[in-house]
Chains A and B, each alone.
Chain A
Amino acid sequence: MAGVTAATAHRRRAHGASAGRPWGVAPTALLLLGAIYCLFPVVWVLIAATKSPGELFSTSTLSFGTGFFDNVAELFAYRDGVFWLWAANTLFYAGGGALLSTAVSAVSGFALAKYRFRGRNAIFNLLIGGILVPAVVLAIPQYLLFSEIGLADSHWAVLLPQILHPYGIYLARVYAAAAIPDSLLEAGRIDGAGEGRLLSRVALPLMVPGMVTIFLFQFVAIWNNFLLPFIMLGDDGKFPLTVGLYTLLAAGANQPALYNLILTGALLSIVPLIALFLTMQRYWRTDLSSGAVK
């Protein structure tokens, strides 16, 4: 662990020194330093999750504790296993939301990138403009509107507002523009393929790596979203993990925060994201140019 600490400290020096050097181990070293910088605090969560409540604030920050399995057992037993319910909810929100979001983004991005039509830029700017309004601001009006139609405190109230994501549409547009050669679409049209068929058979397969990125981003964003579900949901049986874990942290006036459970829960909630990332990243290796007709 001391090595990790030292490496973090030397990060800046290494950055400066390697910039002008000839190619060798320098790129790998730079990248690894970046990885260590990003990983170090995550490693801390891992270590902290192994500590029993007594060890958390009394033993050295970077030494492993002895309470990991107790923490896990306690977390799973908490309120009759409500952790699993929260995890299932989160999976539903993030999985469903990201899937729908990717579909909407890909189709929109394709249309914006590969068609010329009246209002194209206006629509694009409008959709992208959505990112200008902070989520903190939207949460309460969205809640009031969902209440108005009787959908507040339902799974829909968390799922639906998170489908549209300006960033996803932007990425899909840029990606479609770069990855789908016009010549391929024209060739398809000459062969008599309809636009819908071009989308599903030509465009979407070429956009897979971009869609994977969008899915991943949206999945992680919904997985970690706090404010919207916090406002929308009253029933603790519909909470996602973030809101659920928050009830452990802000355990109420004068109730101690259950740090060991929160840290263990946070660690466990990162694990599916890592698994997702590992399964998804093979799609990035697809060599885009190989399939393209020039």
Chain B
Amino acid sequence: MRANRLGVLAVALTVTCMSGALTGCGSGEPAESPEAAPATTAPQGPVKLTYWTWAPNMDKIVKAWNDANPDIQVTVSKQAGGDDAAAKYLTAAKAGNPPDLVQAEYQHLPSFIAADAVADLKAETDPIKGEFSEGLWNLVTLGTDAVYGIPQDSGPMMLFYRKDLFDKYGIEVPKTWQEYGEAARTVRKKDPKAYLGTFSSKDPGAFTGLAQQAGAQWWSISGESWKVDIADEPTKKVADYWGGLVKEGAIDDMPYFTPEWNKALNDGKLLTWPSAVWAPGVLSSNAPKAKGKWAVAPLPQWNAGESFSGFWGGSSTAVSTKTPNKAAAAKFATWLNTDPKAIDLLVKEAAIYPAATAAQSGLGEAPEYFSNQPDFWQQAAAVSVGARGFTFGPNVGVTFNSFKDGFDKALQDGTPFSAAVQAMQDATVADMRKSGFQIAS
């Protein structure tokens, strides 16, 4: 039945197109370039690869590759980022026409793997395994024997703060979360319109990083089953800490990345942002007037003397299972993420924090926005060492969505944050059970 319908559709559409071509419909588009058509298997000539990415200026970086490798030509197709970008790639993979290469955020990689949409690159990546830290490598292997992508960038978390206002209010940079809470109360007293920080119920990535810092291990694989432990002690501790601060009014609850948040950053009404190493790019774009006023420090710790951090963001380059040119694609992905010249371009043009260990320590000049802090990259490298992550599960979409709904509700109703964490755990497990994943209890 279905095959018949499709057959009819195919015939009818072919007819439509042919008649369209005859009447010149196809020529109505002046801007279409001839090479945009998908490469039909040319017997000879260069291998053509398509690459979906949202990194800024990737065209320039890929041009360097294309100039040096006439036999493997890569075409960048710049996509939107975010959750629906992942859905788009999954849909394309399901339909059988994904790009050869795709930028995959670490948290989305497991769902790509589960959909059999990204290829195992174990053989191709064996020589470069040592160029990445074990923690990052785990994010692309999920702790299995396979390798599903090559790490590109990473986002160890740090504390960004308004140095000028800290000085003005006489606040020390908090070393522990307890000090952070006290500083928050001080700020409220000094300027009732300002807050030390805000808790965003829209950014599960940030919360994930804070939970990682506290030692959370939301997913893990043991044998043939998944272990899901989102409502573990460290996560609950983090949740209740922020819940308490919000409830007593010590910190704000406006979401990140909204126009209002931008304005607060500009006006000096938000004094800190526990964020990741990529924050300078966001700050310089959204709060350009505060240039030179921000400084960076390690995240406050749960116990004095520790030096842990977590990850917010970061992505890898993955190769589609459907590509006929897996070797060429892997070759390009390897170059992009390990070749010093490519990484140099990634840092300069795409403003990423590279995943490769050697590249991290080789970063020189601080970002322009932080020119007052020449040791910016040294700090980042130091923080990176203590940053701990965890394997993401196959349905992070469900978990992150449940984070937003749960914490929205907690903020609105004033209910405990740990209840929202429990809701995340329940939603995640329920969804995995529904699909039939093996879960260790």
Chain A interfacial positions (CB closer than 8 Å to B): 53-54, 56-58, 79-80, 84-85, 88-89, 92, 95-96, 140, 143-145, 147-149, 151-153, 155-156, 160, 230-231, 234-238, 243, 246-247, 249-259
Q: Is B244's beta carbon under 8 Å from chain A?
A: no
Most chain A beta-carbon contacts within 10 A, residue among B10, B79, B286, B289: B79
Interface of A is mostly: helix
Task: Return B255 CB to nearest CB of chain A, in Å.
Answer: 14
Q: How far is the CB of B21 from chain A (nearest CB, A)?
A: 10
Minimal Cβ-Cβ distance residue in A for B89: A234
Check if A145 sits within 8 Å of B6, measured CB to CB. Answer: yes
Residues A88 and B29 in contact, CB atoms below 8 Å apart: yes
Say yes or no: is B229 at the interface (Cβ < 8 Å to chain A): no
Given contacts A160-B16, A230-B84, 18 further A-B contacts (CB under 8 A): A57-B265, A58-B289, A89-B31, A144-B94, A148-B95, A149-B6, A149-B13, A153-B97, A156-B20, A237-B77, A250-B81, A252-B55, A252-B103, A253-B82, A253-B313, A253-B315, A254-B312, A255-B278
CB<8 Å pairs between A and B, sample of 21: A57-B286, A147-B92, A147-B96, A153-B38, A230-B80, A234-B50, A234-B52, A234-B79, A236-B76, A236-B79, A237-B31, A238-B32, A243-B80, A250-B54, A252-B81, A253-B315, A254-B313, A255-B54, A255-B278, A256-B285, A258-B285
Pick the residue among B50, B81, B84, B205 that contacts A255 (CB under 8 A).
B81
A231 interface neighbour in B31, B88, B285, B289, Cβ under 8 Å: B88
Residues of B within 8 A of A148 (CB): 6, 9-10, 95
User: Judging by beta carbons under 8 Å apart, are B80 and A247 in contact?
Assistant: yes
Cβ B95 vs Cβ A152 within 8 A = yes
One digit per residue, 1 when the CB lies within 8 angstroms of any chain A CB and 0 when it does not, for chain B 88-102 equals 100110111101000
In the assembly, what is the distance between CA of A283 and CA of B8, in Å? 40
CB-based contact B282/A256 at 8 Å: yes
| Stretch from B131-139, B245-253, B256-264, B355-363 forming part of the interface with A | B256-264
Q: Which of B29, B38, B78, B105 contacts A155 (CB 8 A)?
A: B29
B contact residues around A256 at 8 Å (CB): 281-282, 284-286
* Leading 5 A-B pairs by shortest Cβ distance: A252-B81, A252-B54, A147-B95, A256-B285, A250-B80
- B92 partner, pick from A155, A234, A236, beta carbons under 8 A: A234
Q: How far is it, in angstroms, between the C-alpha of A58 and the C-alpha of B287 when the chains are bound?
A: 8
Mark B residues whose CB is within 8 Å of A. Answer: 6, 9-10, 13-14, 16-17, 20, 25-26, 28-33, 36, 38, 50, 52, 54-56, 59, 76-82, 84-85, 88, 91-92, 94-97, 99, 103, 105, 155, 205, 257, 259, 262-263, 265-267, 276, 278, 281-282, 284-289, 312-315, 351
Q: How far is the CB of A88 from chain B (nearest CB, A)?
A: 4
Cα separation A254 to B282 with both chains bound (whole Å): 7
The verdict on A257 contacting B257 (CB below 8 Å), with A149-B6, A236-B77 known, is yes
A57 contacts B266, CB within 8 Å? yes
Chain B neighbourhood of A144, CB < 8 A: 91, 94-95
- Which of B14, B52, B263, B276 is in CB contact (< 8 Å) with A58? B263
Q: Are A250 and B95 in contact (CB under 8 A)?
A: no
Which chain A residues lie closer than 8 Å to B82 at the CB level?
250, 252-253
* Known contacts A149-B6, A246-B80: A57-B95 contact under CB 8 Å: no
Contacts of A249 in B (CB 8 A): 80
Q: Determine the chain B residues whose CB is within 8 A of the CB of A160 once the complex forms.
A: 13, 16
The answer to whether A156 and B32 have CB atoms under 8 Å apart is no
B314 surroundings in chain A (CB, below 8 A): 253
Q: Which residue of B lies closest to A248 (CB)?
A: B80
Do B29 and A251 have beta carbons less than 8 Å apart?
no
Residues of B within 8 A of A147 (CB): 92, 95-97
